Structure 1
């Protein structure tokens, strides 16, 4: 039996379920040392390439959980504006956008059919697939999301971009783990029972 790769939506969120403010900013989420150390031990590949050395992740550190990252245009744009055309150079990078052209040969821009693309990716050999954002893309990909890993920070935004930005049918997940941290953050891991 062929084992399919798993799609994980791994993202930071506020207590009230927002991954960004109404303007799409997410730089207010705290970088808590305790959360960072725990998550980087399991998912070092989720740290952008430009910051890995600064926090002690060597260039030759193997990817542990993912070898592919998926982004919506709004998730990709902040790095692009900062001059990071290939933010996760240590991963296969796919950006879903109908308006963007690839500014870097290492970034694949896909204009249509996110679900079909993910279904093909799942058939390939490799590690897991990381959906790093955003909420609209997550809504499209919900039928293929096998795992949610939510770094929930003790912030309330009141408005913004929710975990799932479009209306979606009810989709049940089961809580696999809840890790609490001294900083007040909680990392919640949910699995899709049908995966």
Structure 2
């Protein structure tokens, strides 16, 4: 049985919108350049090494697929080689290597994927998908990189929920730039 792991960059006030600054959001670019954060790069590589697959929403898939195939290095090699599953009703022919579009009921498809894959199925970004997975109790772990900035506006990682979602802090550390890396397990 696999484990669904949400992995996201987030501001102190919960914003996930436009971390790289290329979507036109007025507060975009709050992550800065990853080259300026070698410890974050190492965390991303560690996470990729431990992943059995990536699970993405269409917009996040297109963002990643537009960048990673042309990159080189150990992280690029690992991401490009991993199986990638995309939850989308509009994407028909994914171009990024090893990509599969999950058709039909996304909740059922992800539940099946979780049962059939061993290891971590990492969900980078994909805030809409994150909300769906949380609402259907399909999340096993959250890995949040919390950047020390408050934007005051923007799309938040979590929207309204039907009820509380109990979590347990299993790891906390700080990397350069005052970025808190928090890992929570679903407390079932």
Please state which band the TM-score falls in when normalised by the shorter chain.
0.7 to 0.9
Identify the range of structure 1 (20-29 vs 179-188) with the bigger mean alpha-carbon deviation: 20-29
Partner of 2:73: none
Higher share of residues assigned helix: 2
* Preserved CA contact (<8 Å) 2:3 2:118: no
- CA distance in 2 between partners of 1:164 and 1:176 (Å): 20
Partner of 2:122: 130
- CA distance in 2 between partners of 1:175 and 1:14 (Å): 18
* 2:119 is the alignment partner of 1:117: no
Per-residue CA deviations over 1:125-164 (Å, capped at 9, x if unaligned) read 4221111131110111111101000011112222222112
* 2:169 is the alignment partner of 1:184: no
Provide closer, same or farther for how the CA distance between residues 40 and 188 of structure 1 changes in structure 2, counting only shifts above 3 A: same
Q: Which runs of 5+ in 2 are unaligned?
A: 71-75
Residue-pair matches, total:
171
- CA distance in 2 between partners of 1:83 and 1:132 (Å): 13
TM-score by length of 2: 0.78
Provide closer, same or farther for how the CA distance between residues 137 and 125 of structure 1 changes in structure 2, counting only shifts above 3 A: closer
TM-score by length of 1: 0.75
Give the SS at the match of 1:161.
coil
**Of residues 143, 148, 153 in structure 1, which corresponds to 2:142?**
148
* 2:5 is the alignment partner of 1:8: yes
Please state how far the C-alpha of 1:21 moved relative to its aligned partner. 3.7
Partner of 2:16: 19
Partner of 1:96: 87
